[in-house]
């Protein structure tokens, strides 16, 4: 590995001044579970790693009146053991309980998972269907970007070089709503998804769909929303025919590729299967009687 300095700033101001000083020669590091792999594989060559681990107030889950805020340095283990996540953001809970291993989840952060911008990032689809926004901050101020507009390409986001990801802002799901995430992988633990499908449904009293969100991972160069399938579902009742058609539409919206984990045709087929399965779980979780 190339030699690098490891800096541990203790405030955001210090982080920003180090980022300004070292510019593109610096790399931010949170839990390091992606960064260290990239360093070892000689895919990145920073002179300096700027750790966010000693910066206070970056790891939290705040259950507010209308929103839930999750600090970017919150680890997957903290999410997994939070009752707020388990009870209110069920799709995210589904994702974190099967992410890596306990050892990985103890150090890896939700901010790192999203900022790394891998199409396979397990928390991306749940956050997409939960209408999450990212709060980006720099020495000049802050801005909020909806997650659906955050990813540009594999490993690329709208974040500027002087910005860091501070927190995720998630509107509290309404009463008659439910969400779920299904990670299709060969093994339950320590495996990246072949495909990830998250769905959230907000229902009307008459059991028709008020609002649908479908998030697909490893189905395109970035995690995506299946907007046409969502639109198709809106106002409909969840019959087998409706679910089958929603799956067909979502599958057509995807642009998967062949990879060592799975071929494109298989991913397309499984989008159909999982759309039906995950929508059914989300509907059950909406607790509509
Ligand atoms: C054995 C193993 C198993 C894994 N299994 C899974 C899995 O099942 N599912 C999955 O999705 N991932 C998996 N991963 C990948 C990884 O653990 C996750 O993506 C993790 O959430 C990354 O978080 P981190 O804190 O370690 O990020 P880091 O490695 O510290 O950072 C990742 C990227 O994000 C940037 N970054 C981090 N925090 C911020 C911030 N606040 N603002 C701006 N940029 C930031 C860094 O500069 C870097 O580019 C696995 C990794 C390993 C090694």
DSSP 9-54: -SSHHHHHHHHHHHGGGEEEESS-TTHHHHHHTTS---SEEEE-TT
Residue 1 is predicted with a pLDDT of 80
Q: What pLDDT, in 10s, does the model give residues 19-60?
A: 999 999 999 999 999 999 999 999 999 999 999 999 999 999
**197 and 147 within one domain:** no
Residue 91 is predicted with a pLDDT of 98
**203 and 113 within one domain:** no
**32 and 120 within one domain:** no
Asked whether the beta carbons of 136 and 145 are under 8 A apart, the reply is yes
pLDDT at 188 over 90: no
Ligand 1 centroid to residue 31 C-alpha, Å: 7
Q: What pLDDT, in 10s, does the model give residues 190-228?
A: 788 999 999 999 999 999 999 999 999 999 999 999 999
Pocket test for ligand 1, best of 7, 18, 30, 77 (most atoms within 8 A of CB): 30
pLDDT at 2 over 90: no
pLDDT at 158 over 90: yes
Q: Give 227: exposed, middle or buried? Use CB within 10 Å, 0-12, 13-18, 19+.
A: middle
Cα gap 136→175, rounded to integer Å: 29
CA 208 to chain centre: 27
**182 and 165 within one domain:** no
State mean pLDDT over 126-131: 98
Ligand 1 centroid to residue 199 C-alpha, Å: 23
Please give the sequence-ordered ranges of beta strands (E in DSSP) within 127-254, or none if there are none: 133-138, 141-146, 151-153, 156-157, 164-171, 177-184, 195-203, 209-217, 224-225
State mean pLDDT over 85-95: 98
Residue where the block lists tokens 């541990």: 8
What angle in degrees, to the nearest 10, is found between the helix axes of 240-253 and 264-285? Answer: 140
Partner residues linked to 90 by β-bridges: none
Q: What pLDDT, in 10s, does the model give residues 229-274?
A: 999 999 999 999 999 999 999 999 999 999 988 999 999 999 999 9
Nearest CA to ligand 1 atom 14: 100
Q: What pLDDT, in 10s, does the model give residues 100-112?
A: 999 999 999 999 9
Residue 189 is predicted with a pLDDT of 74
Pocket test for ligand 1, best of 51, 72, 76, 116 (most atoms within 8 A of CB): 116
Asked whether the beta carbons of 230 and 242 are under 8 A apart, the reply is no
State mean pLDDT over 69-98: 98
Contacts of 174 (CB under 8 A, 6+ apart): 202
**226 and 128 within one domain:** no
**120 and 85 within one domain:** yes
Last residue of a domain, one of 118, 151, 171: 171
Residue 126 is predicted with a pLDDT of 98
Report the domain count for the chain.
Answer: 3
Atom of ligand 1 nearest to the CA of 104: 17
What proportion of the chain, given as a percentage, has pLDDT over 70?
Answer: 100
Atom of ligand 1 nearest to the CA of 30: 30
| CATH code where residue 135 lies | 3.30.465.10
What is the domain range of residue 200?
177-285
Does residue 56 fall inside a structural domain? no
Give 288's pLDDT tier (boundaries 50, 70, 90): confident
Contacts of 251 (CB under 8 A, 6+ apart): 268, 269, 271, 272, 275
Which residues surround ligand 1 with Cβ inside 6 Å? Answer: 27-35, 37, 52, 72, 99-100, 104, 108-109, 111-113, 115-116, 120-122, 164-165, 190, 192
In degrees rounded to 5, what are phi and psi of residue 58?
-115, -10
Q: Indicate the pTM of the whole model.
A: 0.97
Nearest CA to ligand 1 atom 13: 100
Give 285's pLDDT tier (boundaries 50, 70, 90): very high
Contacts of 106 (CB under 8 A, 6+ apart): 75, 77
Residue 190 is predicted with a pLDDT of 79
Q: Which helix (H) or strand (E) holds 264?
A: helix 264-285
Residue 107 is predicted with a pLDDT of 98
**135 and 89 within one domain:** yes
């Amino acid at each position: 590995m190339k030699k690098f300095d490891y800096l541990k700033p203790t405030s955001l101001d210090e982080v920003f001044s180090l980022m300004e000083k070292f510019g593109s020669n610096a790399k931010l590091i949170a839990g390091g579970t992606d960064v260290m792999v990239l360093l070892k594989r000689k895919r990145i060559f920073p002179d300096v790693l700027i750790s966010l681990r000693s910066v206070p107030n970056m790891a939290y889950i705040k259950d507010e009146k209308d929103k839930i805020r999750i600090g970017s340095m919150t680890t997957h283990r903290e999410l997994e053991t939070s009752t707020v996540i388990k009870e209110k953001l069920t799709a995210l809970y589904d994702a974190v309980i099967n992410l890596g291993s306990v050892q990985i989840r103890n150090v890896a952060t939700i901010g790192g998972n999203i900022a790394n911008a891998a199409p396979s990032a397990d928390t991306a689809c749940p956050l997409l269907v939960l209408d999450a926004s990212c709060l980006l901050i720099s020495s000049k101020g802050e801005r909020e970007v909806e997650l659906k507009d955050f990813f540009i390409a594999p490993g690329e986001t709208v974040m500027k070089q002087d910005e860091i990801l501070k927190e995720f802002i998630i509107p509290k799901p309404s009463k008659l709503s439910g969400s779920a995430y299904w990670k299709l992988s060969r093994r339950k633990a320590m495996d990246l998804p072949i495909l990830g499908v998250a769905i959230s449904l907000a229902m009307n009293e008459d059991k028709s769909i008020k609002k649908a969100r479908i998030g697909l991972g490893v189905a395109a160069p970035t995690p995506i929303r299946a907007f046409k399938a969502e639109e198709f579902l809106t106002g409909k009742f969840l019959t087998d025919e409706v679910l089958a058609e929603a799956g067909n539409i979502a599958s057509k919206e995807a642009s998967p590729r062949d990879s060592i984990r799975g071929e494109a045709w298989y991913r397309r087929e499984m989008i159909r299967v999982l759309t039906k399965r995950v929508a059914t779980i989300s509907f059950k979780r909406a607790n509509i009687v």
